[in-house]
C-alpha cells in the first residue's frame, strides 16, 4: 500500500516541515551546526527528513534566549498566559489530523493512537487554561498578634524537558502547558528517534506566539542525542528538568540534577500487571489485556507486561487470549484496519527477540509464537508478532521491562493478597489493574496494603490515562507526577510570607530580645 495515499507529504507540508536542515529553534527560527540526524519511518523504512543536532554553542544561544524571555513572560498575569495556551489548544484542533499522521508515521503507532495523542495535547491545554485562574496558595493564622501569614507560588524559570519516542508530542505538552501558565519558559529535547514531531509542534506554537507578541524563547527546541540531555542536567540555569524515558537514563539525570541541588521530575520505566480474579468479567479482561499488551506495539510505559491469573480460571483466560491474538492484524499503522504497527527500530526488535529467548531459557513456554515479519509491507524490518509466554514471577526477564508486545502469564493461588504480592515484587511501580466484581478485593487492591503503583485501576487495563489525574509512579518509575491534579506545583517555587501590620515586633515562639 502506497504511503502517499494517506497524505503524509501533505501532512508534512501543512506542518511546515521541509525535510532538510532543521535543528534547534527559538520561536520560528531553526538553526543548528551539529551533525545530521536522519529520521526514518519504522512504517516503511523511508527517510522522512534530516535535522541537525545542536552543538554546545547552539545550546548556549538557546539558554540565553530562554533566560531573557522568562523575564518578560513571568510578568504577564497567569490568565494572560492561559489565554495563549487556550489559543494553542485551538491551533492543535486545526492541526490534529496532520500532526496525528506524523506521529503515526514517525513513531509507528496506529493512526487512531496518533490522533489520541494530539487529543491529549488539546486536553492538557484546556486543563491548563482553567488552572491559570487557580494557582492558589494558603492563608494561615499567625501565633503573633497583628501578623498575617500566607503561602504563594512564583514562576520557577527555565524548565528543561527530555521526552521519549513513544509519546513524541503529548508528554511535551503535559509539561509545557502547565509550565507556561505557571510563568515558566521551556527548553525541549525530543527523542532523536522522533525529531520531526518536535519541529511540527514548534511550528504550531510559533504561529500562536507571533499572533500574541510572545517573546522568542518561551518555547525552545534542541535536537540532539544524549549529550544535549547532559547539557541540561548539569546546567544550574535550568531549575527543573523533566525527563521521560528508561530507568537507566532517569538515574543519570537525577544524579546530575541533584548534584547541583536542582529539581527533577522523572517518568521512567513500567512493568505493569493486571490481576485477574475468579470474580472477573472474562470479556472485559480480554479486551483490557489485549489492548494493554499490544497497543502501540507494547511501547507504552503503561503497557501490560504481566497477567497474574488465579489458578481456577487460568486455562479459561489463557485460551480466550490465544483466540483473541489470532484476530490481530499487523501492518501499516495508517491503515485503520490494522491493530498493531511496527516497533520503533531494529534495536527494539533485537530487545523483543532477546526477551522471547530469555523466557524460554528460564523455563517458560511460548503459547503465542512471536517472530519478525518480512515481505511486502514489512520492508522496514520493524514489524513483529505480539507474543504470549507462560512464565513464573521470579524469572529474571519477567522482572525487567521489555519495550515490545510480549505478555507474560503468571499463575496465583489462594487469596488476592498473593496476587498483589506478586505484582508488587518488581522494581517498577507505574500502572496496575485488577479485574474483579468483588468489592472487597477491589478495595483491598486500592488500599495501603494493595498496589504500590502510582496508578491503580479496577476493571480497566493498565494502559491509558486521562488528563486531570496526576500521572506517574513510584520506585524505579521515578516518583514524578505530571498532567493533572496539583502537578502544577512542581513547576513553581513556593514562598511563605509573613506581614506585620502593627507597630510592635514580637518574635515567634515567645522569644524575648529587648534592646
* Residues classed as catalytic: 267, 301
DSSP string, 300-323: STT-EEEEEEETTTHHHHHHHHHH
CA-wise closest residue to 105 among 54, 43, 61:
43
Radius of gyration of the chain (CA): 24
Backbone angles phi, psi at 27, to 5 degrees: 65, -130
Number of Cβ within a 10 Å radius of residue 344: 26
| Grid coordinates of 317 | 483466560
Q: How many CA atoms lie within 13 A of 126 on its CB side?
A: 12
Per residue in 376-393, is it b (16+ CB within 10 Å) or e — as a string?
Answer: ebbebbbbbbbbbbbbeb
Which residues share a beta bridge with 310?
Answer: 412
How many residues are listed for the chain in this entry? 515
Bridge partners of 509, per DSSP, are none
Closest C-alpha among 195, 263, 197, 203 to residue 233: 263
Q: What angle is formed at CA 328 by the lines to CA 327 and CA 331, rounded to 5 degrees?
A: 140
Q: How many helices (H) and strands (E) does the chain have?
A: 15, 23
Task: Give the Cβ contact number of residue 328 at 10 Å.
Answer: 15
User: 2 CB contacts (<8 Å, ≥6 apart)?
Assistant: none
Neighbour-count burial of 413, counting CB atoms closer than 10 A to its CB (0-12 exposed, 13-18 middle, 19+ buried): exposed
Q: Report which of 499, 488, 500 is spatially closest to residue 153, judged by C-alpha positions.
A: 488
Starting at the edge strand found earlier in the chain, the sheet holding 139-141 runs 139-141, 147-155, 492-500
Amino acid at each position: 500500500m502506497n504511503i502517499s495515499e494517506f497524505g503524509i507529504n501533505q501532512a508534512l507540508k501543512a506542518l511546515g516541515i521541509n525535510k532538510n536542515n532543521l535543528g534547534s529553534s527559538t520561536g520560528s527560527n531553526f538553526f543548528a551546526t551539529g551533525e545530521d540526524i536522519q529520521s526514518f519511518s519504522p512504517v516503511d523504512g523511508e527517510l522522512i527528513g534530516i535535522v541537525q543536532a545542536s552543538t554546545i554553542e547552539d545550546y548556549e544561544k538557546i539558554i540565553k534566549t530562554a533566560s531573557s524571555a522568562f523575564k518578560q513572560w513571568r510578568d504577564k498575569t497567569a490568565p494572560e498566559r492561559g489565554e495563549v495556551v487556550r489559543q494553542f489548544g485551538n491551533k492543535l484542533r486545526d492541526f490534529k489530523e496532520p500532526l496525528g499522521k506524523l506521529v503515526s508515521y514517525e513513531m509507528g503507532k496506529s493512526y487512531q493512537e496518533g490522533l489520541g495523542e494530539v487529543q491529549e495535547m488539546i486536553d492538557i491545554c484546556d486543563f491548563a487554561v482553567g488552572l491559570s485562574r487557580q494557582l492558589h496558595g494558603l492563608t494561615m493564622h499567625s501565633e503573633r498578634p497583628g501578623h498575617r501569614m500566607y503561602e504563594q507560588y512564583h514562576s520557577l524559570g527555565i524548565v528543561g524537558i527530555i521526552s521519549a519516542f513513544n509519546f513524541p508530542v503529548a508528554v511535551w505538552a503535559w509539561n509545557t502547558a502547565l509550565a507556561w501558565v505557571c510563568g515558566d519558559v521551556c527548553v525541549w529535547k525530543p527523542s532523536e528517534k522522533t525529531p520531526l514531531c518536535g519541529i511540527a509542534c514548534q511550528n504550531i506554537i510559533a504561529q500562536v506566539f507571533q499572533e500574541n507578541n510572545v517573546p522568542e524563547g518561551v518555547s525552545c527546541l534542541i535536537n540532539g542525542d544524549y549529550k544535549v540531555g547532559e547539557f541540561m542536567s548539569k546546567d544550574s540555569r535550568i531549575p527543573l528538568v523533566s525527563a521521560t524515558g528508561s530507568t537507566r537514563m532517569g538515574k543519570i539525570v537525577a544524579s546530575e540534577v541533584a548534584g547541583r541541588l536542582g529539581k527533577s521530575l522523572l517518568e521512567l520505566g513500567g512493568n505493569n500487571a493486571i490481576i485477574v480474579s475468579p470474580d472477573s468479567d472474562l470479556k472485559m479482561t480480554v479486551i483490557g489485556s489485549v489492548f494493554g499488551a499490544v497497543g502501540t506495539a507494547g511501547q507504552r510505559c503503561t503497557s501490560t507486561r504481566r497477567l497474574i491469573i488465579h489458578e481456577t480460571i487460568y486455562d479459561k483466560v489463557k485460551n480466550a487470549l490465544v483466540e483473541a491474538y489470532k484476530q490481530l492484524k499487523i501492518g501499516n499503522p495508517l491503515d485503520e484496519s490494522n491493530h498493531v504497527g511496527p516497533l520503533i527500530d531494529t534495536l527494539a526488535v533485537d530487545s523483543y527477540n532477546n526477551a522471547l529467548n530469555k523466557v524460554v531459557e528460564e523455563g517458560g513456554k511460548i503459547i503465542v509464537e512471536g517472530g519478525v515479519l518480512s515481505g511486502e509491507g514489512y520492508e522496514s524490518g520493524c514489524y513483529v508478532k505480539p507474543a504470549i509466554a507462560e512464565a513464573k514471577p521470579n524469572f529474571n526477564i519477567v522482572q525487567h521491562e521489555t519495550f515490545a508486545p510480549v505478555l507474560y502469564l503468571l499463575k496465583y493461588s489462594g487469596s488476592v493478597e498473593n496476587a498483589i504480592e506478586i505484582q508488587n515484587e518488581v522494581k517498577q511501580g507505574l500502572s496496575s489493574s485488577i479485574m474483579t466484581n468483588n468489592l472487597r478485593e477491589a478495595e483491598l487492591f486500592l488500599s495501603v496494603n494493595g498496589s504500590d503503583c502510582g496508578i491503580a485501576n479496577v476493571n480497566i487495563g493498565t494502559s491509558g490515562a486521562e488528563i486531570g489525574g496526576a500521572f506517574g509512579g513510584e520506585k524505579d518509575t521515578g516518583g514524578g507526577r505530571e498532567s493533572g491534579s496539583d502537578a502544577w506545583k512542581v513547576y513553581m517555587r513556593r514562598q511563605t510570607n509573613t506581614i506585620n501590620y502593627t507597630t510592635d515586633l514580637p518574635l515567634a515562639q515567645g522569644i524575648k530580645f529587648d534592646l
